[in-house]
Amino acid sequence: MDARDAELKKELNASLQARRELGEEYESALVDSFLEKVDQRIDGAVERRVRRQLAEHQMTVTRDARSPKVTDSWGERFGFGIVSLVLAMPLSAIGGGVGHLPGLIVAWLGIVGVNVVQAARSHPGLFGRRKGRRDGGDWED
């Protein structure tokens, strides 16, 4: 357990103790306050991960500028998938918290949509006929 986990545990215990002392009429405010702290912690963790991944991406771009260009590398697809999953956590929490099930569905439709667009960009022939191909192929319209 790191220091941030211990701090969050202390905050939860303090909120529970305050709830016992103040009574049910303050329960909503105490829960909101605790959830705000959890939300800030999630935001901080996501921000750190995104910054780290952006820095790694910038290093990769700098390295790739010196070497021959390789298109659609496994690392790029893997990195995009990781970023997508990392961002899916807070988006799911926000969508589910604000809009309940419809909000969660909209959040995940957006996540899936972005990944489909990325897959179509990386593999142009994956979702239909290949460019420049006019004769009959495997895909029918």
Does residue 130 have a pLDDT over 60? no
Does residue 11 have a pLDDT over 50? yes
The answer to whether the CB of 13 falls within 8 A of the CB of 42 is no
The conformation of residue 70, written as its DSSP 8-state character, comes to -
pTM of the model: 0.39
Does residue 141 have a pLDDT over 50? no
Does residue 49 have a pLDDT over 90? yes
Q: What is the mean pLDDT of the chain?
A: 80
Lowest-pLDDT choice from 39-43, 77-81, 93-97: 77-81
Cα gap 11→39, rounded to integer Å:
13
The answer to whether the CB of 99 falls within 8 A of the CB of 106 is yes
Per-residue pLDDT at 63 = 79
Per-residue pLDDT at 50 = 93
